[in-house]
A = this chain, B = another copy of it.
C-alpha cells in the first residue's frame, strides 16, 4: 500500500500556483486539463518526496470553497523556516502562526487550506521579526 496524494479544491489556478509553488516552494509534477469534463487537476509536490503529492482540483464551474473541521492541515518540512515565511509574507500571505520558536509556523492557502511548516532538524535560534510576532486568525 502506498500513500499517493491529498486532494484539495482550488477556486483560482493562478493564485493557487503562486501560493503552492512560487511562495510555498512545491513543484508542479503533472497536470491533466479536461475542460470538456469540467476540471483541471494539477499535482504538486515537495522536491524530496515527489511521489507524495497534493492534487489541486480546479472545477471550471468553481464554488467558493470553505473548510470543515474533519480536515486539519497539510504539513511540510522546510530547510529554513524563516526564509520560507519571509517569502510567503513578502508575497502577501498572512503568517497566522509565526515561527516564534524557530520550529513551527502555520499559513493558509487562498482557499483556506491550513499548512503547517516545520523546520528540518533542530529549531533555529529565535529571531525577529518572528520572535515577537503575534498570532493572526486561526489555522
Output the nearest chain B residue to A48 by Cβ-Cβ distance.
Answer: B2
- Closest chain B residue to A57, Cβ basis: B72
Instruction: Verify B5–A25 contact, CB threshold 8 A.
Output: no
Q: How large is the interface on A (under 10, 10 to 19, 20 to 34, 35 or more residues)?
A: 35 or more
- B79 contacts A8, C-beta separation under 8 Å: no
Give how many copies assemble into the complex: 2
Does any Cβ of B come within 8 Å of A75's Cβ?
yes
**Which listed residue (B9, B49, B57) contacts A3, Cβ 8 A?**
B49
CB distance from A113 to the nearest CB of B (A): 6
Q: How many Å lie between the Cα of A118 and that of B7 in the bound state?
A: 14
A47 near B: Cβ within 8 Å? yes
- Name which of A61-69, A95-103, A123-131 contacts chain B: A61-69
